[in-house]
Structure 1
């Protein structure tokens, strides 16, 4: 049996400006250590930049993908059969759903630097999560992939 490629996969990478900020953090550390000499200055530059870059990379590491009949979003894995309707959120609606419209029981994989999102209802009665809020750069494509995976799942059953 051969596994097919995932119909959707996205990494929520940090924006390019964060890498510049990582370098500037290193420069800040270098300036703090300047009075102690050249070696500490270089150590501060390299160490500060490295630590800030690792943090930016870690924050931008979550993936959203559909593998087989499951949606994997960050560390969460939910069968597509337990998902209901999807709603593509423009930047204004996405902001509303992560602030005053948000439900504290919802699963939220959000990144503030991604303005759009997809809201997916959870239809499993045993799951207390009412919906998934997923920051994504391509919400229409993710919604179509979830729908396609759901149809493929019902055809296989």
Structure 2
């Protein structure tokens, strides 16, 4: 039986300004097709806006979740028992860990439009990943959810 200690779920959605940019891409496509008449202009506006919106939406679709005894970050699923200490990164420190402090072996789920992050040490000796870098709008809440899941997992006797 798994305990759901402090559930956490966050979608790293793209900022609102990206939707305006998507519309402007559609306007650009419409302007490119201007010499060909009204129907191509409308097609360029609709098609360009839709294509740009799909790109913005897919880039902003990853989720970070703490479910049962696992941390799910994008496509990665890591048992909380394999995780160690968490460090909340404020904007300047987060930028440092995205750039010159970064380890090429680290798992990075980063979105540059989210200024804060959480760095979580990976303690599994079988895993070459030294840490997880997770862009998040609520790093304190995510750290608390991981810690609560780890405690709940440690308190539950292993099933044989």
- Give every structure 1 segment of 4 or more consecutive aligned residues whose post-TM-superposition deviation is greater than 2 Å: 1-6
Please say if residues 6 and 68 of structure 1, whose CA atoms lie closer than 8 Å, have aligned partners that are also in contact. no
| 2:149 counterpart residue number | 149
Please, which runs of 5 or more residues in structure 1 have no aligned partner?
none
Instruction: Give, in whole Å, the separation in 2 of the partners of 1:2 and 1:69.
Output: 7
Instruction: Give, in whole Å, the separation in 1 of the partners of 2:68 and 2:33.
Output: 52
Shift of the 4–86 alpha-carbon distance from structure 1 to 2, 3 Å rule, reads closer
1:47-81 deviation digits (Å, cap 9, x = unpaired)? 00000000000000000001110000000000000
| 2:7 counterpart residue number | 7
Written as runs of structure 1 = structure 2, the 5 A alignment for 1:71-110 is 71-110=71-110
TM-score, normalised to structure 1's length?
0.97
Written as runs of structure 1 = structure 2, the 5 A alignment for 1:106-121 is 106-121=106-121
TM-score, normalised to structure 2's length?
0.95
1:30 counterpart SS class: helix
Shift of the 127–2 alpha-carbon distance from structure 1 to 2, 3 Å rule, reads closer
Greater relative contact order (Cα 8 A, min sep 6): structure 1 or 2? 2
When the two structures are aligned, how many residues end up with a matched partner? 157
1:88-133 deviation digits (Å, cap 9, x = unpaired)? 0000000000000000000000000000000000000000000000
Please say if residues 3 and 153 of structure 2, whose CA atoms lie closer than 8 Å, have aligned partners that are also in contact. no
Q: Quick check: 1-10 or 54-63, which moved more?
A: 1-10
1:13 counterpart SS class: coil
2:115 counterpart SS class: coil
